[in-house]
Amino acid sequence: MKRYASVLLLGLLACTATADAQEAPAAYRLVVTYDRPGLQVPHWQITLPPRGGATYTGKPDKGIDPGEVTFRMSDAGRAKLGALLSRSKGMQPCETKSKNLANMGQKDVVYAPADDAEVHCSFNYTDNKPLGEALDYMLSLAGTLQAGLELERLHRYDRLGLDPVMVHLAEDAKTGHAVEMGAIQSTLESLASDDALLDRVRSRAEQLLALAKQQDAAKP
Name residue 205's amino acid. A
Is cis: bond before 25, omega within 30 of 0? no
Element at 146 (helix H, strand E): helix 129-157
User: Across the strands, what pairs with 28?
Assistant: 113
**What is the torsion angle, in degrees rounded to the nearest 10, for the CA atoms of residue 208, residue 175, residue 200 and residue 62?**
90
Q: How far apart are CA 76 and CA 60, in angstroms?
A: 29
User: Across the strands, what pairs with 102?
Assistant: none
Query: pTM here?
Result: 0.86
**Angle, in degrees to the nearest 10, between helices 199-217 and 75-86:** 60
pLDDT at position 60: 85
Phi, psi of 144, deg, nearest 5: -65, -45
pLDDT at position 64: 66
14-57 pLDDT, tens digit each: 444 444 434 455 689 999 999 999 999 999 999 999 988 999 99
- Which residues in the chain land under pLDDT 70? 1-26, 63-64, 220
First-last CA distance in the chain: 38
Q: How far apart are CA 55 and CA 38, in angstroms?
A: 23
Q: CB of 44 within 8 A of CB of 142?
A: yes
